[in-house]
Amino acid sequence: MKAGFEELKGFGLNVFTEEELDTIHYATLQVMSNTGIQVESDDAVEILEAGGCRVEQGKKYKIVKMPPHVVEDAIRSAPSTLVYYGRDPKNDYVGQPGNIGFTFFGENTHLIDLETRKHRGCVKEDLATATRMGDALDELVVIEKCMGAQDTPAESQAMHNYEAMVSNTGKHCFLGFYTKGNAQKIVEMAAVCSGGMENFKKRPIVTGVVCPTSPLMLVRMACDVIVECAKMNVGIMAITMPLSGVTAPTTLAGTLVIQNCEILSALVLSQLTARGSRFTYGSCATIMDMKTAGASTGSPEYGMLSAAATKMAQYYKLPNWSGCGVSDSKQPDAQAVSEYAQNTSLAALSGSNIIFSVGSIESGLTFDYAKAILDTEYIHRMSKVMEGIKVDKETLALDVIDTVGPAGDYMTQRHTLNHMRESSMSKLFDRRNREAWEADGSKDIVECAYEKAKQILETHKPMPLPEGAAEKMKQIIADYEKDIK
């Protein structure tokens, strides 16, 4: 079972005082109760009203006002710890306090082709290839859909996405289901890959991603998937993307309140549908750049809001998922590395359970293989930082210091031999002297990253599907596409 790495035994980051967390929570309850959430599904409105919410007619859709006791009861009923099951049990990952892990950033529409280095649109085979690389990278504890199968029909694209993913990884998968019908069929496909529906119910290997819409809306598509997944006991990860100054107040505290309301509204709907259903608190808020009028995913505010949302999830004792580490750069360069390091450090030091961040440039629009490899190198280094500095009799080494004395050396000491493997080691970054680097071809780090990606894809073989599962998935998709036509 994968455990990521632990935040509690090393360095950590405090974002708010307890009083500030309480204040944000009370502000959230006030908005949910007084302002309300626009809900665009009659079925969802019926569930919410039956659960104690007040319903009013808005301009086009119903406005649901959620009393504090309903919201807080939903928070208490959701699991505080989740196991994100993999097809391979060795890849199970536990979302609980102290566990920190990483995954791909999702929803890229383009990629930098690994062979031609040209910028182009994504197809299903690209998602399969990137997933296979992610399966090989230990730094990725689960697999998020990092791009879409844009060469497939829109109505069934989610199913094609899942087929490409589950065929190429033994890790737990996260992806958008988009519709109620897709949700039902993806569960059917997942059951085929799990050895049957009974096994799937015990070990659900996929989580559906839904996006409440800012400001303060649960659109029909999100409602349908939340309700259907709760009924089937399939996990939901609600991720909201308010943009400061556009779909949320310009102030970060105001943006956090909007985000919190949207996530908790999805939580309330899921828990009123099926009490105790699996739920992950997701966040992906950032600012609008006032010069370009675009969303800035490389801004420091992106990391700050991710850290803040992590603390809110911890306040509610909910497993959480933070979006950050994406770069506004158009290529895997110094800007991309700097923005990734800045913002993922904030999320990791805050204790985020899953940080979806790896491999994305151009504000989350383009996937790049070198960027993914460079990001995992940083995660590898960050894991060392998160260990902190252990202080005890053995690590203080006073007896060794006394033995070596002034002007001595520690290379020949047994203490050095015992602890030498604890020192960090680079997987990709070059620590050699200039002469050794030049003798090896003076390779640029980005080129080294592309080479490593190619080497992984040439050698890694993911866990095979159960016999007949591939054919059954294709038939499920074909039947669905025939029906919708």
Report pLDDT digits (tens) over 136-191.
Answer: 999 999 999 999 999 999 999 999 999 999 999 999 999 999 999 999 999 999 99
Instruction: Select from 388, 389, 411, 385 the least CA-distant residue to 400.
Output: 411
282-337 residue pLDDT tens: 999 998 887 887 778 889 999 999 999 999 999 999 999 999 889 999 999 999 99
pLDDT at 32: 98
pLDDT digits (tens, 9 = 90+) for 389-431: 899 999 999 999 999 999 999 999 999 999 998 888 888 888 8
Q: What is the pLDDT of residue 426?
A: 82
Burial label, 461 (beta-carbon count in 10 A; 0-12, 13-18, 19+): exposed
The three-state secondary structure class of 421 is helix
Query: Is residue 264 classed exposed, middle or buried when 0-12, 13-18 and 19+ CB atoms within 10 A define those classes?
Result: buried
CA distance 179 to 190: 16
**The Cα angle at residue 181 between residues 176 and 184, in degrees rounded to 5:** 80
Determine how many CB atoms are found less than 10 A away from the CB of residue 195.
13
Each residue's pLDDT tens digit, 236-273: 999 999 999 899 999 999 999 999 999 999 999 999 99
Question: For the purposes of burial, counting CB atoms within 10 Å of the CB of 445, is it exposed (0-12), middle (13-18) or buried (19 or more)?
Answer: middle
What is the rounded average pLDDT of the residues 27-46?
A: 98
Task: State which CATH number among 3.90.100.10, 3.30.365.10, 3.20.20.480, 3.30.70.330 fits the domain covering 5-16+74-387.
Answer: 3.20.20.480
**Residue 5 confidence (pLDDT):** 52
Separation CA 224–CA 415 (nearest Å): 60
H or E stretch at 236 = strand 235-240
Task: Indicate whether 72 pLDDT > 50.
Answer: yes
Q: Where are the domains of the chain?
A: 5-16+74-387, 393-422
Positive or negative CA dihedral for 44, 47, 53, 56? positive
